[in-house]
């Protein structure tokens, strides 16, 4: 998972109108640390890029995305958020959403 370390980098990704996954964590979040490897395992199965960001280090971006908890997994298609998983992320449901996003991106 590549890191997003600035609002500018995030805006570039949105501006490219691509589909991608954004994994959001915060400092000292044990749930985030437990979920991250599970999400990373999916990365090899999909052509869409996976990114991560630390909401505590990018509070202005976290605020603009209305991120009030962690972890959060956001799915984007053509630069727009299409799905949000927050706090408790059902892995199989995430896989189904990724499958669908991959299909739609390849059409």
Q: Please give the residue range of the domain that contains residue 77.
A: 2-105
Specify the number of domains making up the chain.
1
Give me the CATH number covering residue 65. 3.40.30.10
23: nearest Cα among 100, 98, 78? 98
12: CB partners within 8 A, 6+ apart = none
Q: Kindly report, residue by residue over 16-62, the tens digit of the pLDDT.
A: 878 999 999 999 999 999 999 999 999 999 999 999 999 999 999 99
Angle (CA) 50 53 59, round 5°: 150
d(CA 29, CA 98) in angstroms, rounded, equals 24
pLDDT at 107: 53
Per the CB < 8 A criterion, the answer to whether 10 and 53 are in contact is yes
């Amino acid at each position: 998972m590549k890191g997003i370390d600035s609002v500018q980098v995030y805006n570039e990704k949105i501006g490219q109108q691509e589909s991608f996954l954004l994994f959001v964590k915060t400092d000292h979040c044990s749930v985030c640390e437990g979920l991250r490897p599970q999400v990373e395992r999916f990365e090899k199965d999909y052509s869409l890029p996976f990114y991560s960001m630390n909401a505590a280090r990018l509070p202005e971006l976290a605020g603009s995305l209305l991120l009030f908890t962690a972890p959060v997994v956001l799915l984007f298609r053509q630069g727009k958020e299409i799905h949000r998983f927050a706090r408790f992320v059902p892995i199989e449901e995430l896989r189904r959403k990724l499958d669908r996003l991959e299909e739609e991106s390849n059409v």
